Amino acid sequence: MEDEGAAEPLTRLSTGRNRPMAGKTPRSSRGASGRRTCSCYLATQYGAKIIREVMRRLNWPEAADSAILSSPQTQQPKAAPPLTLIWCNGCQADLFIRKMRPGQHIISRLPGTRCLTNKLLLPETLRAQDAAPQCRCRDHPRLTADAVLPATFVLRTAMQRLQFLRRMSSESGSLWICKPATLNRGEGIKLVRAELDFRNLFNDERTNGEPRRDWVIQKYIERPLLLAGKKFDLRVYLLVLATLNLNCLAFYHPGYARLTCRDFDLKSDDLCLHLTNQAVQQKDSTYDAAREETIWSIDRLNCHINEHCEQLGLDKDFAISGMQVSIRQALAHLVAATRPKLATACGCFELFGCDFLVEESGKVWLLELNSTPALGLYNSTQEAIIPGVVHEALAIATEAFDRVFRRQPVLPLSGQQKEFQLIYDSSSRPRQPRPTLVERQQKAGQLSSRTRSMPALNLHANSGISSAKSSENLHLSRPSTASSSNSQPQQLQKQQTQQTLPQRQQRGAVAVRLQKAKSSLSLSQTKPSSASQAAVVKSIGKF
């Protein structure tokens, strides 16, 4: 898991004045394709076998420790060194972010990802986005937390547990799945069918002397879509890159389908029938015989659905046109909700493993996101897919950041983007449809009529004249009422347009003088003298 506080040091580096990325990269450090050459430093053994294979394909050398952990440079070097990609885990990310050199280093971890990968924070993040303004996301509709996640309860306090018990009692016979907030690979997961199971879960924690955990309990999808009678879920990949000016890019890879070894049975408490990840399926007694059938490619999944589309009640090519569209929309919405935290460190990227479950009706649900997706190769399908995922992700990241550091447009990428699809670009703005000719004419007419009516309205408001007789004496034009004829408004409007600005100002001055004179007369208790009346008449007669 990443530390959100690690974003601050890099923000200062990436926005400083003496950053090496400000100028062009010397040609001596560029390859034949115009991009700088790249090296890779392996700080962790997680996925090291696949990373070294990808380095061999891309012809990248392996960097030394001394070149990475030395103090950051504050001045631009005469000849820029090649880009160095640092492959690290979450615990090491803070150190490398503080030591990184903007424009030279790329780190395979993003700060602030706990809001995505932590099971407690993920539902809270989506619910907070429900109250936020419309996100500037590309080609996807507005979604809500209830449309992305199954019903989820965070069990931190006694009050939250009581709220869940009330919900559970109102839905008798429902099945729930309880997960520890910080564990993965199926560890600690329990099925909850009744209130007694829920209470025993916390009683066992106290009696066994185990440390107190935070739990998340989620509504179990009781009618999942089955493949040949077996439950499955989808492991897809999300690649997020943090670019300049707090922007980010997100790419989606369709991944593969994970199946159980045995047929699905809702009434069984065997977790091997409910959890599809390889760490759980390896515990099944039939795993060795069914190893090759536990992972399907998306093409094979789509062919199976097309063969049984009438029986399943789904459209043809549902795995391509329906299922993947829903997944892309959900992930784009999720990245938009967390962009302020993910996009704080330019030069960082991360590859997430995302798990989705498909309901019998075709509805797609997000289950969880993993910051360290398993890169193990357990069968031939994974051997064909996972190395390509890592290869393409690293190629996209290095090319994109090389363009960012050289102040060039990132998109479109030159041949590196094959299976990955762009689903989110925070720098883009949704385009408003161009107004038609009729709409432009209507808008121009409204502005024109509003402008013409403003002097008459302002004059009437400032004058304070209430009697129609005074208005007639001063020849003040006012908008006609509903009882007037149709020709009268047109005549008044024509007279207003013919009047010049000095004439309007003079009329306004007359109105102000008249109002002052009337006020002074009303304040006097005695009958106004003939001299006062003569002064008023004289002031009016000047105009």
Distances (CA, A) of 30 to 15, 41, 235, 364, 475: 24, 19, 36, 44, 81
| 216: β partners | 154, 179
How far apart, in whole angstroms, are the C-alpha atoms of residue 293 and residue 228? 11
Lookup: tokens for 3: 């530390």
Q: Which of 377, 395, 118, 352 is nearest to 253 (CA)?
A: 352
Strand intervals (E) in 394-522? 421-425
233 DSSP 8-state letter: E
Q: Report the pLDDT value the prediction gives residue 11, as an integer from 0 to 100.
A: 30
Q: At residue 28, what is the residue type?
A: S
Residue 407 CB-density burial (10 A; 0-12 exposed, 13-18 middle, 19+ buried): exposed
For every one of its 543 residues, what pLDDT tens digit does the chain have, with 9 covering 90 and above?
A: 444 333 333 333 333 333 333 334 444 344 444 566 788 888 888 888 898 888 888 888 888 765 565 544 444 444 456 788 888 887 777 778 777 777 788 888 888 888 888 888 888 888 888 776 554 444 455 688 888 999 998 888 888 888 888 888 888 788 999 988 777 777 888 898 888 888 887 776 665 656 667 889 999 999 999 999 999 999 999 999 988 877 889 999 999 999 999 999 999 988 999 999 888 998 988 999 999 999 999 999 999 999 998 888 888 889 988 899 999 999 999 998 888 888 777 888 999 999 999 999 999 999 999 888 988 888 999 999 999 999 999 999 988 888 888 888 888 887 667 889 999 988 765 444 556 666 666 767 765 565 555 554 443 444 444 444 444 443 434 444 444 445 555 555 555 555 555 666 667 777 777 777 766 655 554 454 555 555 544 544 544
Q: What strand order describes the sheet that includes 38-42?
A: 38-42, 83-87, 105-107
How far apart, in whole angstroms, are the C-alpha atoms of residue 163 and residue 539? 79
- Give, rounded to a whole angstrom, the gap between the first and last alpha carbons of the chain: 82
Q: Report the pLDDT value the prediction gives residue 469, as an integer from 0 to 100.
A: 44
Of the CA atoms within 13 Å of residue 27, those in its CB half-sphere come to 2
Residue 389 CB-density burial (10 A; 0-12 exposed, 13-18 middle, 19+ buried): buried
How far apart, in whole angstroms, are the C-alpha atoms of residue 295 and residue 378? 9
Q: Report the pLDDT value the prediction gives residue 437, as an integer from 0 to 100.
A: 64
Strand intervals (E) in 268-348? 295-297
3-state secondary structure (DSSP) of residue 367: strand
| 185: β partners | none
43 DSSP 8-state letter: -
Residues in contact with 266: Cβ distance below 8 Å, sequence separation at least 6, in sequence order: 175, 222
Residues in contact with 389: Cβ distance below 8 Å, sequence separation at least 6, in sequence order: 237, 253, 255, 351, 419
3-state secondary structure (DSSP) of residue 234: strand
Of the CA atoms within 13 Å of residue 347, those in its CB half-sphere come to 30
| 118: β partners | none
How far apart, in whole angstroms, are the C-alpha atoms of residue 123 and residue 215? 13
Helical (H) or strand (E) element with 311? helix 309-312
Helical (H) or strand (E) element with 232? strand 230-242
Q: Report the pLDDT value the prediction gives residue 392, as an integer from 0 to 100.
A: 93
Of the CA atoms within 13 Å of residue 66, those in its CB half-sphere come to 0
| Residue ranges of the chain assigned to CATH 3.30.470.20 | 114-390+407-425
Lookup: tokens for 440: 């432009």
> Going by CATH, does the domain composed of 114-390+407-425 fall within 3.30.470.20?
yes
Distances (CA, A) of 109 to 58, 312, 399, 418: 21, 40, 17, 22
Q: Token match 């760490």: residue?
A: 279
Lookup: tokens for 88: 């690290």
Q: At residue 140, what is the residue type?
A: H
Q: Cβ(98)–Cβ(114) under 8 Å? A: no
Q: Cβ(525)–Cβ(536) under 8 Å? A: no
How far apart, in whole angstroms, are the C-alpha atoms of residue 79 and residue 27? 9
Question: How much of the chain is helix, strand and coil, in % rounded to 5?
Answer: 45, 15, 40
Q: Which of 53, 75, 55 is nearest to 63 (CA)?
A: 55
Predicted TM-score of the model (pTM): 0.71
